[in-house]
Amino acid sequence: MAHNMFRRSYIINREISPFVKFLRKVTVRHGVSPRVSSFNVQSFRTKSDNSKDINSLFQPIPFRKQENNADDINIGEELSGEVKKDDLLKLLNQFYRRPEVRRAATENGLDQKLFHQAYISFRQFCLESEMLPADLHIVFSDLLQGAGHVDNIFPYFMKHAKEIFPHLECMDELRKISDLRLPANWYSEARGLQRKIIIHAGPTNSGKTHHALECFMMAKTGVYCGPLRLLANEVFKKTNDSGTPCDLVTGEERRFANPDKSPADHVACTVEMCSVTTPYDVAVLDEIQMIKDPQRGWAWTRVLLGICAKEVHLCGEGSAIDLIKKLMLDTGDEVEVRRYKRLTKLKYLNKAVERFENVFAGDCIVCFNKNDIFYVSKQLEKLGIENAVIYGGLPPGTKLAQAEKFNDPKHPCKVLVATDAIGMGLNLCIKRVIFYSLLKPNMNQEGEKEMDFISTSQALQIAGRAGRFGTAYETGEVTTFKAKDIPLLKEIVSNEISFIEQAGLHPTADQIELFAYHLPHATLTNLIDIFTTLCQLDSDSYFMCNMDDFKFLADLIEHVKLPLRVRYVFCCAPIPKKQPFVCTMFLKCARQFSRGEALTLDWICNQLGAPFSIPKSIADLVHLESIFDVLDMYLWLSYRFPDMFPDSEHVRDVQRELDLVIQEGVANITRLLLSSVSQIPASNVDNVDNVGAKTQTKQKLLLDEDEADNSDSAEKNKLTKAFVIAKNIQNEKIKGQTSGKLAKTLVREGLITTAELEELYKEWTRKQAIEGSVESTKSSRNQKNEPKKKR
């Protein structure tokens, strides 16, 4: 069945539906290639509902029936005689119906739902136990003889309720543990210092980081915290090159400046890896606007509040200044703001590029999904324009190699096709930034993935890459590929960047561990849900970061036996959950760990099919990228559990070799694109709907067998996406948001009328019905043990 479900999206692709005809009409009307349209993005992941009633999160723990061993004496029965189960049931029904009982239950923390659940469980306990506790037996017996009141059952009922709902005994403790109202007080070492916070605020390419780094390098001791490995690496190199020994610390890598591996006085790290207990003279926290990031914002908040440094330099957008000042009122630190102006000129052009023939040396075409990257790259190659390609999923070495090729004045490759992965961390000689599209999938604070126009902040960040100071292009230019996007881009960049109002927070391992102590039967996901629902925070300044990725991993390994701390750490690993292969390997690693078997080089290489050969198709390339991510996961875990992941050095060598193999593949990307009959698997496209990907992943893991058939044609892919869009529209309707964002965008763009939208709902419903019947036919066929198709 799981297999069928996984293949479900492909079943519908056999015929070309009116919806796809509509999609083609739309894309043609809109001047976008039907194969790679801006519509292939999805939206609207179901919200993890934090606003839900806390009581709905508590699951009753199954009680243990009182068995009667041969030697046991039923004291209750000895003392007061037998109680017939039928009579008992009558008493219990009377008890349940009494309003006084309900009121008393509410006063003891049992709302309607919990009361009902507790009653069902208590009734079952009373009726199914061969022998009741003596005192309870006597109470029942007395009641049947007309002595006492049915309310006398209440203390026994409550005792049972507290056993199956342990939270009833510890709600106050749980509230205290999850009180996040004064996060500044968590960092006593930092609070013991009088810190000076210096904010370097300004647009991109204005020398903010440069000036902060000057202070960092001149200090006796210092730490640099960057948002990306590449940035930390750049600072690591720059600092060592300038003669100041500097270590590198990222989740996956440690490099020491001193040959004896003793720690240097300077360290460049990724934000999450920064120590908040080591004292430094100077700390630099780069890209401070990331403090609002729905997933990673907590890491910036932690360093901002907790770093033990006399001088803390924050670099980034001016939009963060007010929030920082507000947060520093709680820490008592002094704040100074230094403003910067852009070092080079930036011109917004009035003319769009429109045709690939109009792409010239120094151009960088920015796309927001991998499919667009491949499409644009292929079109350029057809015209004989050599191009470098950079997107988020590529290994750092490959990204650097592509950047170097593009930057090298002697290399013929003078055009770059990239996702917004270039927005931070790479020094690129770009003359003109060309936005291929202005639509981008975004993850909001509720963890919903939605399709929206890029924000002013994102547009400025990307556009600002043109005309980098110190490169051949002292004046940068910015335009769009499509003419219709020009006024829209101008509107976006002319808007004020909205002020950042809240900084991210998240629960720590300690807090979750304390929760688990009180609620020993709850799953990790359940603990997180209870925590995020119960926690109190100062919502004027803080928000709770989205923990869906964490919960997704926690669900994957829920059935694997691991200590809570280990489980927590596993779930913090940076796993791209859209990649089923990486998730499968994550599960396998957890299982191996759980068995107490070390994850050796041989084991991991065996699992991954090393050695690796040069990719022959885009699907091969995507698979190698997944393997790279698995090795990253290994290295990340190896720093937390060195005994269980003992071969990190060798694994790093394997990863370096793989980086070279991928580099070679990307260098020949045109050949790969041409030889790939199919597009990349839908599950690996950047913008695939998260819910869909999650389901696919889970189903794959359930199967735990060969990869599903990835040879879906571009047509199938398109159809799948078409239906995901239809489903999203349908979801909007279900959510009562007929004027939801996607529908609004479609209507605003003139791509769909209200009547057409209605037609789509109908068609989607019809399709679902057909799909359902095909599904059941397939399922019954499968039950007859029909062989499964394998790759």
Point out the residue whose Cβ comes nearest to Mg ion.
209
Of 143 and 315, CB closest to Mg ion = 315
Binding status of residue 332 toward ligand ATP by CB under 6 A: no
Query: What token pair was written down for 257?
Result: 């400046």
- In this structure, what token pair is assigned to residue 153? 């059952």
Q: Choosing among Mg ion, ligand ATP, none, which partner's interface includes residue 207 (Cβ < 5 to 8 Å by kind)?
A: ligand ATP
Nearer to ligand ATP, 168 or 343 (CB): 343
> Which range of residues in 119-127, 208-216, 405-413, 513-521 is near Mg ion by CB under 5 A?
208-216
Residue 204 lies near ligand ATP (rule: CB under 6 A): yes
Output the CA angle 559-563-567, nearest 5 degrees.
65
User: For residues 242 and 776, which CB has a smaller minimum distance to Mg ion in the complex?
Assistant: 242
Does 470 bind ligand ATP (CB under 6 A)? Our answer is yes
Binders of ligand ATP in range 427-446 (CB under 6 A): 427
Q: Is 310 in the site for ligand ATP (CB under 6 A)?
A: no
Q: Is 318 a binder of ligand ATP (CB under 6 A)? A: no
Q: Is 457 in the site for Mg ion (CB under 5 A)?
A: no
Residue 66, Cα to own-chain centre: how many angstroms? 45
* 207 lies in the site for ligand ATP, by CB under 6 A: yes
Q: Which of residues 340-369 bind ligand ATP (CB under 6 A)?
A: 343
Among 17, 209, 295, 377, binds ligand ATP (CB under 6 A): 209
Under the binding rule (CB under 6 A), the answer on residue 206 touching ligand ATP is yes
> CB under 6 A: which stretch of 107-115, 428-436, 465-473, 528-536 binds ligand ATP?
465-473
User: What is the CB-side half-sphere exposure of residue 536 using CA atoms within 13 A?
Assistant: 8
- With beta carbons less than 8 A apart as the criterion, state whether 372 and 27 touch: no
Q: Which is nearer to Mg ion, 339 or 766 (CB)?
A: 339
Q: Does 239 bind ligand ATP (CB under 6 A)?
A: no
List the beta bridge partners of residue 434.
Answer: 365, 479
Q: How many CB atoms lie within 10 A of CB 95?
A: 20
Nearer to ligand ATP, 3 or 465 (CB): 465
| 25 or 339: CB nearest ligand ATP | 339
Cα–Cα distance between 549 and 788 in angstroms, integer? 31
Structural tokens at position 275: 């120590």
Can residue 209 be called a binding residue for Mg ion (CB under 5 A)?
A: yes
- From the list 1-9, 133-141, 202-210, 755-763, the region that binds ligand ATP by CB under 6 A is 202-210
Residue 771's alpha-carbon distances to 7, 515, 724, 743, 752, in angstroms, are: 11, 43, 14, 24, 25
| Binding residue (CB under 6 A) for ligand ATP from 186, 469, 603, 641 | 469
Can you tell me the distance from the alpha carbon of 667 to that of 274, in angstroms, rounded to the nearest whole number?
Answer: 35
Angstrom CA distances, 35 to 30, 371, 593, 722, stand at 13, 9, 43, 11
Cα separation of 235 and 433, whole Å? Answer: 25
The smaller minimum CB distance to ligand ATP, of residues 464 and 692, is found at 464
Stretch binding ligand ATP (CB under 6 A), from 182-190, 207-215, 479-487, 642-650: 207-215
Binding mask 597-616 for Mg ion (x = CB under 5 A): --------------------
Distance CA 684, CA 629 (A): 13
Do residues 359 and 385 make contact, with C-beta atoms less than 8 angstroms apart?
yes
Q: How many beta carbons lie within 10 A of that of residue 757, not counting itself?
A: 17
**Shortest Cβ distance from residue 343 to ligand ATP (Å)?**
6
Binding span for Mg ion by CB under 5 A among 111-119, 209-217, 300-308, 494-502: 209-217
Alpha-carbon gap, residue 618 to 345, rounded angstroms:
38
Q: Hey, which residues between 648 and 707 contact ligand ATP (CB under 6 A)? A: none
Total site size for ligand ATP, rule CB under 6 A: 15
| Radius of gyration of the chain measured on its C-alpha atoms | 30
- Please choose, from the candidates 686, 626, 213, 230, the residue with its C-alpha nearest in 3D space to the C-alpha of residue 423: 230
The one-letter code for the residue type at 385 is I
User: Which listed range, 6-14, 60-68, 197-205, 778-786, lies at the site for ligand ATP (CB under 6 A)?
Assistant: 197-205
**Whole-Å CA distances, 260 to 256, 267, 318, 651:** 8, 16, 42, 22
First-residue to last-residue Cα distance in the chain = 18
CA angle 369, 371, 376 (to 5 degrees): 100
Judged by CB under 6 A, does residue 250 bind ligand ATP? Answer: no
Q: Which of 305, 315, 364, 428 binds ligand ATP (CB under 6 A)?
A: 315
Sequence-distant (6+) residues with CB within 8 A of 185 are: 191
Which residues in this chain contact ligand ATP in the complex, by CB under 6 A?
202, 204-210, 315, 343, 427, 464, 468-470
Give contact residues for Mg ion (rule: CB under 5 A): 209
